[in-house]
């Protein structure tokens, strides 16, 4: 499963910019990768982990702005079309599953 966090945070004052930066850094600390400036994604193994990450993200949210957390399956993630300019990039690869013997 994949989690995608999209946000639009105010950055009009120094305090708002600091809060927005802290939120972005928190997402990076949780293992999210930046897809675009206010779009971050992370692979998560199961719905229980998704709920755990949602709670952590909620605690780090600034008091103003808008945050969306979207959950999609691996298959849906594979179907994302990405373009850089007009050139299509290869489909994103799902991370390898950890196998314990």
Which ranges of the chain have pLDDT less than 50?
Answer: none
| Per-residue pLDDT at 98 | 55
Residue 70: its H or E element: strand 66-72
| pTM for the structure as a whole | 0.82
Is residue 95 included in any domain, yes or no?
Answer: no
CA distance 41 to 57: 13
Report the sign of the C-alpha dihedral through residues 17, 67, 1, 79, in that order: negative
Residues of the domain holding 10: 2-85
Instruction: Say how many domains are in the chain.
Output: 1
Q: For residues 24 and 29, what is the distance between their CA atoms, to the nearest angstrom?
A: 9
Check which CATH number belongs to the domain holding 21 and give it: 3.30.70.240
**Is position 10 within any domain?**
yes
Token pair, residue 23, equals: 């939120």
Does a structural domain hold residue 93?
A: no
Start-to-end Cα distance in the chain: 23
* 28-51 per-position pLDDT tens digit: 999 999 999 999 999 998 889 999
- Answer whether residue 97 is part of any domain: no
């Amino acid at each position: 499963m994949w989690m995608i966090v999209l946000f639009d945070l105010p950055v009009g004052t120094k305090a708002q910019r600091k809060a927005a930066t802290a939120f972005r850094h928190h997402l990076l600390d949780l293992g999210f990768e930046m897809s675009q400036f206010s779009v971050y994604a992370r692979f998560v193994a199961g719905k229980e982990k998704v709920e755990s990450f949602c709670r952590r993200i909620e605690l780090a949210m600034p008091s103003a702005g808008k945050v969306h957390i979207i959950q999609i399956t691996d298959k849906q993630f594979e179907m994302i079309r990405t373009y850089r300019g007009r050139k299509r990039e290869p489909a994103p690869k799902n991370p390898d599953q950890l196998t314990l013997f």
